[in-house]
Amino acid sequence: MATPHVSANADVRAAMAATNRLFNDEVFGKGNFSALDDIYTQDARILPPGAPMISGREGIKKFWMELVAAVHATGATLGSDDVMYTGDGVVEIGHATLTVEPPGQSRAELAAKYVVYWREEQGRWKWHVDIWNFNA
């Protein structure tokens, strides 16, 4: 028999929503990549589509800086579909829209889905493992 999951409480969900907004507002909206220190844990890992896994904040910062510049990303809106406690953290299953505005091209919105494993670090809920892919 499958074990039912326990949904995260309202305080944890609010903290997660604030971190997700920080990703859009600071990283994409202002190009403030140092904000990633407040988004990812120190030993976080990302698993980007079609690329090797990247470990640690410095590598993650480099990835996002290069991606934002390459696709001229201007926004990333994240939305939780399910949030549940597991082990010493929380798993979020969600959907995202990445807004890009390449020079000489029309603005486009790319739909994606993601799974993030969150951990609390220094009193703040942060992304510990981040994997996503784009919808066809």
pTM: 0.90
Side chain identity, residue 24? N
The torsion angle over the Cα atoms of residues 81, 83, 86 and 90, rounded to 10 degrees, is 110
**CATH code of the domain containing 33:** 3.10.450.50
CA distance 122 to 54: 22
- 39: phi then psi, degrees, rounded to nearest 5: -105, -45
State the residue range of the domain holding 39.
10-134
pLDDT of residue 35: 97
Confidence of residue 5 (pLDDT cuts 50, 70, 90): low
Asked whether residue 5 is domain-assigned, the answer is no
Check whether 1 has a pLDDT greater than 60. no
The C-alpha torsion from 76 through 79 and 82 to 83, rounded to 10°, is 70
pLDDT in the model for residue 7? 60
Q: What is the pLDDT of residues 86-126, one digit of tens each?
A: 989 999 999 999 999 999 999 999 999 999 999 999 999 99
The verdict on residue 127 lying in a domain is yes
pLDDT by residue (tens digit) across 7-58?
668 889 999 999 999 999 999 999 999 999 999 999 999 999 999 999 999 9
Which H or E run contains 22?
A: helix 10-22
64 with 88: CB under 8 angstroms? no
**Which pLDDT belongs to residue 3?**
47
Domain count, the chain: 1
One-letter amino acid of 120:
E
3 within some domain: no
Q: Is 32 part of a structural domain of the chain?
A: yes
Encode pLDDT of 62-81 as tens digits. Answer: 999 999 999 999 999 999 99
- Let me know if residue 96 belongs to a domain: yes
| Residue 72 domain flag | yes
Assigned domain for 4 exists: no
